[in-house]
């Protein structure tokens, strides 16, 4: 089950965190993986890791906010069956404390970046008579989180784009879904704690972990497993859906 043999998959933000976990898992399942990331060194490292395990991968230096470059990159691919829009940035702040520069930065990566990849990928999938798109949402679009104004805005847009694409391309055999994780233990979390809570990293990590009713953060590999299912033939009847993967955050936090 869940074989991706003979599939070509682009994964944005694949140099670290969830994107990296998805790239490694997809390669193990037989896909040819395009590891797309703005950080060339990290993307290359993931490719080396995949190739060391016998998988097939190529690195793409990709700034998702630059449509011209994204279209050029995608047009040079050997094939495209799966797109995972995992690239994203975060920000802490309310509507009052979020500056215009940070708002624009989040919009350019988390919203325009997803649009740019959709804009480049969908024509290739139509030529290929079908494809699968998985967008990275967040529980921030489903519930009110404190001090996540701009981030929540971007993830709400991702949810809307997911539904729109799923509707528009039903007859092109293109499926589009999203997932909405709660907190996931990635290098971003460690960097955030080190920067904002020096000397109290362990204490704050425990506090953030306990905000999930299940009592811990997710592992990137757990998120990748759900993405694998939704991008596989076993999920061929699923489109236009969002899947919370949140340790009970959206349903049990009361």
How high does pLDDT run on average in the chain? 97
pLDDT tens for 161-204 read 999 999 999 999 999 999 999 999 998 899 889 988 999 999 99
CB 130 within 8 A of CB 109: no
Kindly report the pTM of this predicted structure. Answer: 0.96
pLDDT per residue as tens digits for the range 126-144: 999 999 999 999 999 999 9
Pairwise CA distance, residues 230 & 216, whole Å? 24
Which residues lie closer than 8 Å to 53 by C-beta, 6 or more apart?
24, 27, 28
Closest by CA to 108, choosing from 126, 125, 91, 92, is 91
Domain 8-182+219-248 belongs in CATH node 3.40.50.720 = yes
pLDDT classification of 235: cutoffs 50, 70, 90: very high
Q: Among residues 34, 107, 115, 151, which one is catalytic?
A: 151
Q: What is the pLDDT of residue 192?
A: 85
**Percentage of residues of the chain with pLDDT beyond 70:** 100
Q: How far apart are CA 69 and CA 86, in angstroms?
A: 18
229 counts as catalytic: no
Query: Are 95 and 143 a contacting pair, CB within 8 Å?
Result: no
Q: Please state the rounded mean pLDDT for residues 141-154.
A: 96
Positive or negative CA dihedral for 54, 225, 156, 151?
negative
- Residue 254 is predicted with a pLDDT of 65
Tell me: the pLDDT tens digits for 90-117?
999 999 999 999 999 999 999 999 999 9
What local confidence, expressed as pLDDT, does residue 128 receive? 95
Q: Domain extents for the chain?
A: 8-182+219-248, 184-217
Lookup: tokens for 197: 């809570």
Write down the pLDDT at residue 215: 96
Compute the distance between CA of residue 116 and CA of residue 24 in angstroms, rounded to an integer.
Answer: 24
């Amino acid at each position: 089950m869940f074989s991706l043999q003979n599939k070509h998959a682009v994964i944005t933000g694949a140099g670290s965190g969830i994107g990296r976990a998805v790239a490694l898992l997809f390669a193990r399942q037989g896909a040819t993986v395009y590891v797309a990331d703005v950080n060339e060194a990290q993307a290359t490292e993931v490719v080396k890791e995949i190739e060391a395990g016998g998988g097939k991968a190529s690195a793409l230096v990709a700034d998702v906010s630059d449509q011209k470059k994204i279209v050029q990159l995608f047009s040079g691919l050997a094939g495209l069956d799966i797109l995972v829009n995992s690239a994203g940035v975060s920000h802490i702040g309310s509507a009052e404390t979020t500056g215009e520069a940070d708002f624009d930065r989040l919009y350019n990566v988390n919203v325009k970046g997803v649009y740019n990849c959709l804009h480049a990928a969908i024509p290739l999938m139509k030529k290929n008579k079908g494809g699968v798109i998985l967008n990275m949402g967040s529980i921030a679009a489903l519930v009110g989180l404190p001090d996540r104004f701009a981030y929540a805005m971007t993830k709400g847009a991702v949810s809307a784009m997911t539904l729109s694409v799923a509707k528009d391309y039903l007859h092109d055999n293109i499926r589009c879904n999203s997932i909405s994780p709660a907190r996931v233990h990635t290098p971003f979390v460690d960097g955030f704690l080190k920067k904002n809570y020096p000397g109290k990293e362990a204490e704050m990590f425990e506090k953030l972990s306990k905000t999930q009713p299940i009592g811990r953060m997710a592992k990137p590999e757990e998120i990748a497993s759900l993405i694998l299912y939704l991008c596989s033939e076993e999920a061929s009847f699923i489109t236009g859906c969002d899947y919370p993967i949140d340790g009970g955050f959206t349903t049990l936090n009361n």
